[in-house]
Amino acid sequence: MLLHTVSPQVIAAKTPRVLSAAAASQAASTLDVCLGLQIKEIMTAAEQAMQSQLAGPTIALLDDMPADLWTRLSTRLSSSTAAAAQVRLPVHKLLWVCD
Burial 11-43, CB ≥16 within 10 A → b, else e: bbeeeeeeeeeeebeebbeebeeebeeeeeebe
Read off the pLDDT of residues 2-43 as tens digits, 9 standing for 90 and up. Answer: 445 555 566 656 655 556 777 777 777 877 777 788 888 888
At residue 98, the pLDDT reads 43
At residue 3, the pLDDT reads 47
Contact criterion met (CB below 8 Å) for 54 and 76: yes
At residue 7, the pLDDT reads 59
Tell me the torsion sign for CA atoms 70, 71, 72, 74. Answer: positive
Reported as a pLDDT band with limits 50, 70 and 90, residue 74 is very high
| Percentage of the chain lying above the pLDDT 90 cut | 13
Nearest of 3, 2, 28, 1 to residue 13 by alpha carbon: 28
Residue 45 has pLDDT above 70, yes or no: yes
